[in-house]
Amino acid sequence: MITVALWTLGLVGRAAIPAIHSHPRMRLVGAWTHSAEKDGADIGTLAGIDPIGIAAGRDIDALIALRPDCVLYVPQFPDADHMARLLEAGINIVSTSYFMNGRAFGPEGHARIAAAAMRGRASIYGTGINPGFANILGLVATQGCRRVDRVTVLESVDCTNYASVGTWEAMGIDRPIGDPTVAAFMKQSTPSFHEAVEMMADALDVRLDGEVRFDVEFAAATETMDLGFMTIREGHISALRGTWSGWVGGKPFIALKVAWKLGYKHTPDWPIEHGYLVEIEGDPNIRCRYEPVGATMFDPALITAMPAVHAIPAVCAAAPGIVTAADLPLIVARDCGPARA
């Protein structure tokens, strides 16, 4: 049985609780929250299920003393100090928090995380839906190619129901449409997309020409929109299209693209694919579509949490250090199929 603790109880953390609690090979043992309002609350209740007898706490030392095999680390932004403390204590980390290979921490920060993992004989892995699974889908799609000229991964979704104010503020949502500082602000707020381009290039054994490039364009709200969790004012940013690209030989080789819209009144009003598209240009050309369908509403928190939850056993079994998808075996929804008689 793999023991798991949660680090923060926001949208993604709460979405993971029922999945871990019902998993036959995992057991929840604790949860850390930065929120005074959640301190002491049963995490089952916070997740909208029956109480499970585990209270959220704000004492880091108490969480470490539980000695979980793994911490599912899902705050909005990563903290190198917290990550290092967990790793040095011998606790594996699976993160959805702006972490793919740790290079965004800079050379010193990256070396610190790697050294902490080696001292604790623990592993750290970053995933989620995008960056994360969508990039892995792009890598897997190249298996059918004799030659790969370009890999494009697009996330194109209506994000109106993703009630994470901090996330959207970091993306420049509700900033004035003509604010010249927003593009640089967004670039600084999205280091994991840069890391994801590097991770994919590493997996394909390709050396990029210099740094990852970033381009973005914004759309404005044509009227003030109250989304319930935040208000987007007329004439302020309500949608964006961004691209992080890695170039080889003077041409883009890997392109990670997003098209995100909040609300229903935009100019320009770009079309949305309502899912994830992978396109491989090469021999042959390949196109893949990953789209949550059915009667239930698209839940970005759930599909962000589940690649991380399913990765926990593989990460706990991995060699110590910073690991990426290229270092792990095939990750699937193991133990989630029909019950055996």
Instruction: Tell me: do 94 and 140 sit in the same domain.
Output: no
**Residue 59 domain-assigned (yes or no):** yes
Task: Report whether pLDDT(175) > 70.
Answer: yes
Tally of structural domains, the chain: 2
Rounded to two decimals, the pTM is: 0.91
Instruction: Give the per-residue pLDDT at 265.
Output: 93
Amino acid at 268: P
Question: Comparing 50 with 297, which gets the higher pLDDT?
Answer: 50
Instruction: Give the per-residue pLDDT at 341.
Output: 42
Please answer whether residues 229 and 163 qualify as being in contact, where contact means their C-beta atoms are separated by less than 8 angstroms: yes
What residues contact 8, with CB distance under 8 A and at least 6 apart?
32, 33, 34, 73, 74, 75, 76
Instruction: Give the per-residue pLDDT at 162.
Output: 87
Please answer whether residues 9 and 33 qualify as being in contact, where contact means their C-beta atoms are separated by less than 8 angstroms: yes
Instruction: Give the per-residue pLDDT at 241.
Output: 97
Dump pLDDT digits (tens) for 22-54. 999 999 999 999 999 999 999 999 999 999 999
Instruction: Give the per-residue pLDDT at 256.
Output: 98
Instruction: Give the per-residue pLDDT at 164.
Output: 87
Mean predicted confidence (pLDDT) in 61-83: 95
Structure tokens at 139: 């890598």
Task: Report whether pLDDT(295) > 80.
Answer: no
Mean predicted confidence (pLDDT) in 244-258: 97
What CATH code is carried by the domain that includes residue 85?
A: 3.40.50.720
Question: Comparing 294 with 16, which gets the higher pLDDT?
Answer: 16
Question: Comparing 104 with 310, which gets the higher pLDDT?
Answer: 310
**Residue 160 domain-assigned (yes or no):** yes
Mean predicted confidence (pLDDT) in 157-186: 92
What percentage of the chain has pLDDT greater than the value 90? 86
Of 26, 10, 50, 99, the closest CA to residue 309 belongs to 26
Instruction: Tell me: do 158 and 211 sit in the same domain.
Output: yes
Instruction: Tell me: do 202 and 287 sit in the same domain.
Output: yes
Instruction: Tell me: do 142 and 272 sit in the same domain.
Output: yes
Please answer whether residues 244 and 196 qualify as being in contact, where contact means their C-beta atoms are separated by less than 8 angstroms: yes
213-221 vs 26-32, strand pairing mode: unpaired
Structural element, H or E, at residue 15: helix 11-22
Task: Report whether pLDDT(297) > 70.
Answer: no
**Residue 40 domain-assigned (yes or no):** yes
**Residue 338 domain-assigned (yes or no):** no
Instruction: Tell me: do 215 and 259 sit in the same domain.
Output: yes
**Residue 337 domain-assigned (yes or no):** no
Instruction: Give the per-residue pLDDT at 135.
Output: 96
Instruction: Give the per-residue pLDDT at 104.
Output: 86
Question: The domain containing residue 279 runs over which residues?
Answer: 133-294
Dump pLDDT digits (tens) for 110-140. 999 999 999 999 999 999 999 999 999 999 9
Q: In sequence order, what DSSP letters do the residues of 26-65 get, joined into one string?
A: EEEEEEE-S-TTTTT-BHHHHTTS---S-B-B--HHHHHH
What confidence tier does 76 reach under pLDDT thresholds 50, 70, 90? confident
What residues contact 299, with CB distance under 8 A and at least 6 apart?
15, 161, 292
